[in-house]
Amino acid sequence: MSDGMLKSIVVLLGVLTTLGIYSILYKENKVFRFFEHLYLGLAGGYAIAANWNDVLKPTWWEPMTTDPGKNWWMAALLPAGALFYFIYSKKNGWMARLIFGLFIGFAAGQSFQSFAGDYFPQFKNVATKPLWVEADKIKPDYPVGAYATVLNNWLALAILGAVMVYFFFSFEQKNKTVNKVSKFGRYAMMVAFGAMFGNTIMARMALLIGRIYFLIHAPESMSGH
C-alpha cells in the first residue's frame, strides 16, 4: 500500500468519525453511539499507555528494578495499586474504597496546596494595588492610562470585598448596606461566570472551526493536492 493510499484512508476515517460524532446535533442515533464508544475506548487505552510511559515506568518501575537494594520499598506500592481493581468485584469492592479514600485525600491536599500557591498571591496583589495616581506612572503621550489603571484597581478591590461579604454567613445580612454590598458581589460573580462560560464556548467554537476546515479540505488531502 502506497503512502498516498494510506493517507487517503486516514483522512477518510477522520471524515467519517467527525460526521459520526457531530450527528448528535441532529438527534440521538446508533452511529453517534458507535463513535462515542470508539472514542472512549481509544482514550482509555491511550490513558493507560501514557500513565505507564510517563508516570509508572520512570518513577516506579525503573527505579525499583535498576536499584532494588535501595528502592525495594517501592514493591509495596504494587498491592496498594492493585486495590483499585477491586472496584469491579461485588464481594470485595469495599477494599477499593480504602485506596480511593486515601488517594482522594492526598489529591485534595495537593489541589489545595496548588490553589493556595496560585491564587493567594493574586488576592494579595489585588489588595495591595495602588489606589492613587503615581506621578511617575503618568505618560505624557497617554495620561489617561494611569487613571484607568487606578480606576481598575478600585473596582477590583471593591469586587473582592463584596464577594467576601457575600460568602460571610456567620450572621444574617439584615443590614441594608451589607445586603446591597452582598448583592453587588453576587452580580460581579455572575459577570465573571458569564465570561468564563463565554470563554468555554469560544474554545468549543475553535474546535468546531478546526473540524469544519478539515472537512472542507479533506477532498484535497485525499487527492494528494
In one-letter notation, the amino acid at residue 206 is A
pLDDT at 38: 94
pLDDT of residue 136 exceeding 80, the answer is no
Q: Which helix (H) or strand (E) holds 221?
A: helix 176-223
Residue 142: the pLDDT is: 67
Compute the average pLDDT of residues 114-120: 84
The C-alpha cell at 33 is 453511539
Q: Is the pLDDT of residue 68 over 80?
A: no
**Residue 221 CB burial class (10 angstroms; 0-12, 13-18, ≥19):** middle
Angle between helices 176-223 and 3-22 (to 10 degrees): 140
How many Cα atoms are found within 13 Å in the side-chain-facing hemisphere of 161? 12
* pLDDT score at 18: 92
What is the pLDDT at residue 167?
Answer: 87
- Amino acid 213: pLDDT: 93
pLDDT value, residue 89: 86
pLDDT score recorded for residue 224:
65
Number of neighbouring beta carbons within 10 Å of residue 165: 19
- Rounded to 5 degrees, φ, ψ at 89 are -100, 125
Question: At a CB cut-off of 8 Å and minimum separation 6, what does 182 contact?
Answer: 162, 165, 166, 173
Handedness of CA 142, 144, 150, 156 (dihedral sign): negative
Decide: 99 and 84 in contact? Cβ < 8 Å.
yes
The pLDDT value recorded for residue 186 is 94
Instruction: Report the alpha-carbon distance of residue 21 to residue 32 in Å, rounded.
Output: 5
pTM of this prediction? Answer: 0.59
Reply yes or no on whether the pLDDT at 137 is more than 70.
no
Average pLDDT over the chain, rounded to an integer: 86
In contact, 16 and 31? CB cutoff 8 Å: no
Residue 108 has pLDDT above 80, yes or no: yes
Per-residue model confidence (pLDDT) at position 201: 95
Distance CA 168, CA 121 (A): 21
Instruction: Specify the pLDDT at position 30.
Output: 94
